[in-house]
Amino acid sequence: MGNGKNDVYVTNRAIGKAVKTSLHESGSWHIAFDSRFLKEEIQEESRLLSNRFVDRWSRPAEIGAGCTLALRIIIPEDTITIPMRNTDPNSTVWISAPPSGKAVEIVLLLTAPHFKTLGWPGRDTMGAQLLESFQIENGYRCWIVYYVIDKPKMDPRKGVPTYFKSGKRNIQKSRKYRAVIFSESKDGSRILFECNVQIQMTS
């Protein structure tokens, strides 16, 4: 998570910053592959070279006066595979894994300068815990909160994966596979849902 002037960016370090969510002050928001990653990891004929965008949307309407729900990240307990390490920076904030059958929902909200709250958004109404907050140059504040929810139910899907250049090598090193599903909520925000993947290697 980071910000540049009045823009906010979100990426996933577990996938090497390959995909980034950009929330621009203009209200033009998108999820896209990193250009440098694509140059290193895909074939020249790939359509991603000309269209690296996963999703584009306009900033959604406020859920309350001066408060915009921008992004949700849902992580079920059975997809948590990254162990805590002593080598991680002191600034790293760890969230405890949820109980079996549950998931952690991380929510990113933007609030206008006139927005008033006791504590942080969702503290009293949803029992949300605060991860971090910071103010950007235009006076808006970015809040990252989380809470535990029931694990969403998803029907299994099958398909043939398309690998990046290093994909097969990484798959041979690990036996714990995850995917990120991008979804649109009814309120116009986007949801990033982590899920498990089973890969069957064939000769």
Query: What is the domain range of residue 143?
Result: 60-84+91-196
In a domain, 104, yes or no: yes
Q: What is the pLDDT of residues 20-64, one digit of tens each?
A: 999 999 999 999 988 888 888 877 667 777 788 989 999 999 998
Q: What span, in angstroms and rounded, lies between the C-alpha atoms of 178 and 15?
A: 10
In a domain, 150, yes or no: yes
- The pLDDT of residue 203 is above 60: no
In a domain, 115, yes or no: yes
Q: What is the pLDDT of residues 61-91, one digit of tens each?
A: 999 899 999 999 999 998 887 777 776 677 7
Give the closest residue to 22 by CA, choosing from 2, 38, 36: 2
In a domain, 113, yes or no: yes
Q: Percent of the chain beyond pLDDT 70?
A: 86
Is-contact 136 3, C-beta < 8 A? yes
In a domain, 7, yes or no: no
Q: Is 172 helix (H, G, I), strand (E, B) or coil?
A: helix
Q: Is 4 helix (H, G, I), strand (E, B) or coil?
A: strand
pLDDT of residue 105: 96
Confidence band of 177 (pLDDT split at 50, 70, 90): confident
Mean pLDDT in residue range 162-173: 65
What is the phi/psi pair of residue 65, to 5°? -60, 110
Q: What span, in angstroms and rounded, lies between the C-alpha atoms of 107 and 75?
A: 12
In a domain, 22, yes or no: no
pLDDT of residue 168: 59
In total, how many domains does the chain have?
A: 1
Which sign does the torsion angle of CA 117, 64, 110, 146 carry?
positive
Mean of per-residue pLDDT scores for the chain: 85
Confidence band of 196 (pLDDT split at 50, 70, 90): confident
In a domain, 17, yes or no: no
| pTM for this predicted structure | 0.84
How many alpha carbons lie under 13 Å from residue 172 in its C-beta half-sphere? 6
In a domain, 156, yes or no: yes
pLDDT of residue 91: 76
